[in-house]
Amino acid sequence: MKRILQNQQVRFLLAGSFNTALDFLLLNVLTLAFGVAPLVANTVSVSLGIVISYALNHFFVFRYPYRISIGKFLEFFLVTGFSSLVLQNTIIFLFELLFDTSFGNSLLFLPTAEGDQVLALNIAKFSAVLVGLVWNFTMYKFVVFRKRNEPRRLK
């Protein structure tokens, strides 16, 4: 197990899996238990996830040797915020638009069952997370958590 955790991509997937599970849990609780609109619930769940994700990526994934700073957090927030708030909300919105769904009247699933609303929302969210996965790892590795003596570049 210790050998597996030496791999940065494995640590990224573990941290991301934890954070994504928390994000999905909060999204579903807010929409199902409290009736919050999906885009608002996604914004709240993602915002909390960004704070937790920063700590996980700083200490666990990239083992960044420098102190936590407001500037570095803001850089992380911009990268992750774009991915999580712009890309994810755009993809969720496109699911609603393209599949004529309000996550209650879905053409993808049976239109009247409450379970279909949950399934459609989670498929849209999962699709959005996959797009963000590639964006986030690339930007974290080559921009946010780049060591100071490494050149700043995207490969």
What are the boundaries of each domain within the chain?
4-144
* Between 46 and 63, the higher pLDDT residue: 63
Q: Which H or E element spans position 32?
A: none
For the cut 60, the answer to whether the pLDDT of residue 34 exceeds it is yes
Average pLDDT value for the chain: 82
pLDDT band at 117 (very low <50, low <70, confident <90, very high): low
Tokens for 74?
């803001």
Task: Taking residues 61-66, report their average pLDDT.
Answer: 93
For the cut 70, the answer to whether the pLDDT of residue 4 exceeds it is yes
For the cut 90, the answer to whether the pLDDT of residue 17 exceeds it is yes
What pTM does this model have?
A: 0.70
Give the CA distances from residue 140 to residues 22, 73, 151, in Å, rounded to whole numbers and listed in that order: 20, 11, 14
Nearest CA to 90 among 26, 35, 42, 52? 42
Tokens for 55?
């700590």
- Residue 114: the pLDDT is 53
CB 109 within 8 A of CB 116: yes
